Each structure stands twice: as C-alpha cells, then as structure tokens.
C-alpha cells in the first residue's frame, strides 16, 4: 500500500443518529413536491451520514394538511381506496372529499408512504411522520425547527 494508511469506511448505526424535529406548513404547497421533500428527510438523504439500510432520518410534523394543493383535476379524479376487512368491504373516496372530511391528513400520509421503501425499514421511517389537518400540533416540547418550502 505504500505510505498511505488504509482507512475503513465507518458504517453508521441507528443508535448513533441524533434526530431533530422539523415542522412543515403544507398550506398552498403542491402535494407531490411536499411528499418528496418529507420522504427525503424521513429517509435521511439530506445528511452526510446517509446509509440506505439504516434509519438515519429525522422527525417531520406536517401542519395544515387540509390546505395542500392538488394540480389539474386530481380533486375529482384521484381516488383513495381502503378495505374494511369484511367480504366486499372495499371503500373509495375522491381526494376532494377526503380533504374536506375529518381525515384530511390521510392525503399527505398516503403520498409520503408511497415514496418510502415498502419494507420494515420504510414502516419505521413512516412512524416518524406526524400529520395534522389544522395549524396546531402537540409536539412543542420537542422544539421543532420550521422548514420552509418554496
């Protein structure tokens, strides 16, 4: 090897990660652009220590989810499905009706979930996402930093 010393690549462990909290206001932000930003933060891709097989992400709080913007005719045409667990129990609702309902947070939650890995690690990352339809959230004690989206 000569005069250079051999340096091993250090693999980060989940316990070594210091997690921060971020608040994102979804009012007037296009859903897809919001979801890609949030998914990247949850995965930890914005950090120098990013490791694909380790959860290196941060916590994200999304407020005003009911005021998220959908382009085109998605309010009438985009459909969300769920199943009750009973035979013939498939239920569907359009994005517009879902945003007006008591479960407006599901629109943002579903968009972010689709951008995370479909495995145990992805589910662990998704548990760090907190979505609220209105402007209030119960996480003031964590001292979250405000993150502005252009």
Domains in the chain with CATH codes: 18-70+105-147 (3.90.1180.10)
pTM over 0.75: yes
pLDDT, tens digit, for every residue of 63-121? Answer: 999 999 999 999 999 999 999 999 999 999 999 999 999 999 999 999 999 999 999 99
Burial class (CB in 10 A: 0-12, 13-18, 19+), 21: middle
Compute the distance between CA of residue 105 and CA of residue 103 in angstroms, rounded to an integer. 5
Asked if 107 and 65 touch (Cβ cutoff 8 Å), the reply is yes
């Amino acid at each position: 090897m000569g005069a250079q010393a051999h340096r091993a690549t250090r693999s980060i462990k989940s316990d070594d990660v210091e997690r921060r909290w971020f608040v994102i206001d979804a009012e007037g932000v296009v859903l897809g652009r919001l979801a890609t930003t949030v998914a990247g933060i949850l995965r930890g891709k914005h950090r120098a220590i990013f490791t694909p097989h380790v959860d290196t992400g941060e916590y994200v709080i999304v407020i005003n989810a009911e005021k998220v913007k959908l382009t085109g005719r998605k309010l009438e045409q985009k459909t969300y499905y769920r199943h009750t667990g009973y035979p013939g129990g498939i239920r569907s609702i359009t994005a517009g009706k879902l945003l007006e309902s008591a479960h407006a947070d599901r629109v943002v939650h579903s968009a972010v979930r689709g951008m995370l890995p479909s495995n145990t690690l992805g589910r662990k990352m998704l548990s760090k996402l907190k979505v609220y339809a209105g402007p209030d959230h119960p996480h003031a004690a964590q001292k979250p930093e405000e993150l502005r989206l252009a």
